[in-house]
Amino acid sequence: MSSLNNIPPVGFGLWKVAQEDCAQTVYQAIKAGYRHLDCASDYGNEEQVGDGIAQAINDGLCTREELWVTSKLWNTFHAPEHVELAIDKTLSDLKLEYLDLYLIHFPIAQTFVPIETRYPPEWFVDPDAQNPQMELAKVPLHLTWQAMEEQVHNNKAKRIGVCNYSSALIHDLMTYATIKPAMLQIESHPYLTQERIIRLAKQYDIPVTAFSPLGALSYLELEMADQTESVLEQSVVKAAAQNHGKTPAQVVLRWGVQRGTAIIPKTSKFERMKENLALFDFELTEQEMAQISALNSNRRFNDPGHFCEAAFNRFHPIYD
């Protein structure tokens, strides 16, 4: 895999971290050694992430320059005139002058919702309507990308990239990008190895970050996955864990890093935070890597083609 632009290969994901726990969780993560934080306006906790970062810097745990902070442009801010509005709100919440990386969260443009009306805007244009709808906006992705490039020119983002893009969208992006995407963030774990798109990204020299690197674990509480779908229970994972004196989770995370992607696991437990970082004193064998990759069943947990219809009254697939 190409250089990850010096991104720390193991980041800390902030999705689903409750506001009341978030500042302390971020502080503890930085204390545990994390220097890469993965945020998004849609997670609804950037203000608290900012508090945690400020406290950590204040207490001398790290400097701003030592941190890599990623955030994401939400669907309702895709129109060129709203991109700067969105990044300004994120920077103000995070109490930062710049982001290390700003990503388009989904290749889905939705109707603009003013910040003073509702923030984060989420998926419904009006959640209080009798039949709330997810409403699309006619904004082509190339215009959104142009506005993202502006944020690099005005020093609000050091790098820009995309999340949840398909191969076809990446090919398309590379025809018009004057600033090349510095990252592709996609769901990837042993049940969804995504070899083709990772190979394509490598061909274009775009680094890859894998979200949900432990698969089903992030989705159990949302009822988007089943208890039986835990990759940590697989015999090849357990055997590798025994061989290396590591936990099954460390083996799966090591598999993610060893195949050249950055990963963003999430946990609220300090011991687990440290455990998820301790991936660099062992190496899986080629056979172990192949056996874990062979668990692939193309099981995608985070799929708008499913959850938009189930939760937001609109069938909206973005993957074939």
Cis check for the bond before 120: say yes or no (omega within 30 of 0): yes
CA separation for the pair 141, 165 (Å, rounded): 11
User: How do beta strands 160-163 and 184-187 pair?
Assistant: parallel
Burial of 129 (0-12, 13-18, 19+ CB in 10 A): exposed
CB 186 within 8 A of CB 161: no
Please pick, among 27, 34, 43, 165, the residue that the annotation labels catalytic.
43
CA separation for the pair 44, 41 (Å, rounded): 6
105 is in an annotated binding site: yes
Distances (CA, A) of 241 to 191, 245, 254, 289, 313: 18, 6, 11, 12, 42
Angle between helices 286-293 and 248-258 (to 10 degrees): 100
Whether 319 is catalytic: no
Close Cβ partners of 156 (under 8 Å, ≥ 6 residues apart): 84, 87, 88, 91, 98, 99, 102
CB 138 within 8 A of CB 103: no
CA separation for the pair 167, 12 (Å, rounded): 26
User: How do beta strands 208-211 and 184-187 pair?
Assistant: parallel
Q: Token digits for 160?
A: 């820009």
CB 49 within 8 A of CB 91: no
Close Cβ partners of 142 (under 8 Å, ≥ 6 residues apart): 172, 176
**Signed CA dihedral, 176, 180, 185, 186: sign only:** positive
Catalytic residues: 43
Residue positions forming the annotated binding site for substrate? 105
